[in-house]
Amino acid sequence: MFDRLKAMLIKEFIQVFRDPRMRIVLFVLPVLQTVIFGYAVNMDVRNIPTAILDRDNSSESRQLAATMTSSGYFRITNHISSDNEAQALLDRGTVRVVLNVEHGFSQRLQRGETVPLQVLLDGSDSNTAGVIMGYLARLTTDYNISIRSDYSLRHLGQTLSIGQVELASRAWFNSNLASPPFYVPAVITNILFIITMLLSSMAIVREKELGTIEQVIVTPIRKGEFILGKTLPFVLIGYIDVILISLVGMLVFDVPLRGSLWLLFFATTLFLMSSLGIGLLISTVSQTQQQAMMSAFFIIFPTMLLSGFAFPIENMPQPVQWLTLLNPLRFYLVIIRGIFLKGIGIAVLWQQLAALTLLGVSLLGIAVLRFRKTLG
């Protein structure tokens, strides 16, 4: 009954595992990539290299600098004495922030005036610049409070007590607001997508290129048996990679797995239908491995960038947001982050699961329909 499928699977597994490069690509690279991305893909802004142009050179200005360094966000790397130096440092990217303390800073403060503090920011990385401005605003407020209490202590002999609001925030799902718990699940989705889509498309096109497909399609093998034989190995490899990357995430980066493992596997199966479907579709339109590779790359980039892995979909223009509804990665990402970080289940994720099912069935269906047991 399953003779032919068995023969296909045995053949495919021998071919995949006999090639040492393939073993590395399939199992070692995903782990390495997770480790590297886990450390590197980090949106935290800390230890910002900062230059200070202190024309006042008073205890107040030094206290200001101390407030900044003790916060842990800023690191005073350069003490400079001219605007030209500031320009040069920002041009070279040596520092991201230049603080300009004007002459008379302390005197004006003591006179009770409002003194401007000039800050020059490297705005080429708009995201980081925004974060830095937030920090600076907070530090300035802290500094103001401290000079005010100093003032009242010195002049009134007592501390000023007025009511104030204190922020008591708690970040749910990722209490330290650490990057890895957010990115490791995204790395799983991206690696799984690339490996299964690219390799399944190449696997069939390779047979076309070598001419072996010609020999296979003159046998009574059924279309379904051939396609299953070509895709099932990648389903299995996909599961293994999901497990490997999850383990690295949990053990190395303390990513919590709060939800159900079974739901994770179920969602992965749904997602694999889409990625293998795209792979098969590419293989029906490509004649050489090079063509398949090119087509795959043109699909990989938009799919990854418009999945919400780094850039929130809500911020995209409305037409692009509609376009992302065709992106299986988008739904899988919500599911996998939900399972890992929030521990939510089908009750919450049913819409994403349904969307994945719909996309998977249609992509795979189109691919199977397009696949012909003929040449030309």
Partner 1 sequence: MIIQLSSLTRCFGSLTAVDNLTLSIPEGELFGLVGSDGAGKTTTMRMLAGVLDYTSGEAKILGCNSRDLTVVQGEIGYMSQRFGLYPDLTVAENIRFYADLFDVPAAERIARTRRLLTFSGMAPFTDRHAGRLSGGMKQKLGLCCALIHTPKLLLLDEPTNGVDPVSRRDFWRILNDLRKEGVTIVVATAYLDEAERCDRVGLLHNGRLLACDTPQNLTKLVKSNQRAPSLEDVFVELMGEQELAVPQPSIPQPAEQQPGAEASSPAVSLEQISKHFGNFIAVNGISLTVPKGQIFGFLGPNGAGKSTTIRMLCGILSPTSGKGSVAGFDITAEPERIKENIGYMSQRFSLYEDLTVEENIAFYAGIYRLAPDKRSERTEWVIRMAGLTERRSSRANELSGGWRQRLALGCAILHEPSIIFLDEPTSGVDPLSRRRFWDLIRTLARGGVTVFVTTHYMDEAEYCDRLALIYRGELVAVGTPDELKKERAVDGVLPSLEDVFIGLIEEHDRT
Residues that bind partner 1 (CB under 8 A): 3-4, 6-8, 10-11, 14-15, 18-19, 210-221, 373-376
Q: For partner 1, which is the closer residue by CB, 122 or 207?
A: 207
Q: For partner 1, which is the closer residue by CB, 57 or 212?
A: 212
DSSP string, 54-116: ESS-SHHHHHHHHHHHHTSSEEEEEEE-SHHHHHHHHHHTS-SEEEEE-TTHHHHHHTT----
Q: For partner 1, which is the closer residue by CB, 47 or 212?
A: 212
Residue 274: phi, psi to the nearest 5?
A: -70, -50
Q: For partner 1, which is the closer residue by CB, 22 or 45?
A: 22
Q: For partner 1, which is the closer residue by CB, 145 or 218?
A: 218
CB of 204 to partner 1, least distance (A): 14
Is residue 336 within 8 A of residue 264, CB to CB? The reply is yes
CB of 217 to partner 1, least distance (A): 5
Structure tokens at 281: 């579709």
CB of 374 to partner 1, least distance (A): 5
CB of 26 to partner 1, least distance (A): 15
Q: How many residues does the chain have?
A: 376
Q: For partner 1, which is the closer residue by CB, 14 or 28?
A: 14
CB of 213 to partner 1, least distance (A): 8
Number of CB atoms found within 10 A of residue 148's CB: 13
CB of 5 to partner 1, least distance (A): 9
C-alpha distance from residue 88 to each of 56, 80, 92, 101, 239 (Å): 22, 11, 6, 18, 52
The full 3-state SS of 137-198, as one line of letters, equals HHHHHHHHHHHHHHHHHHHHCCCCCCCCCCCCCCCCCCCCCCCHHHHHHHHHHHHHHHHHHH
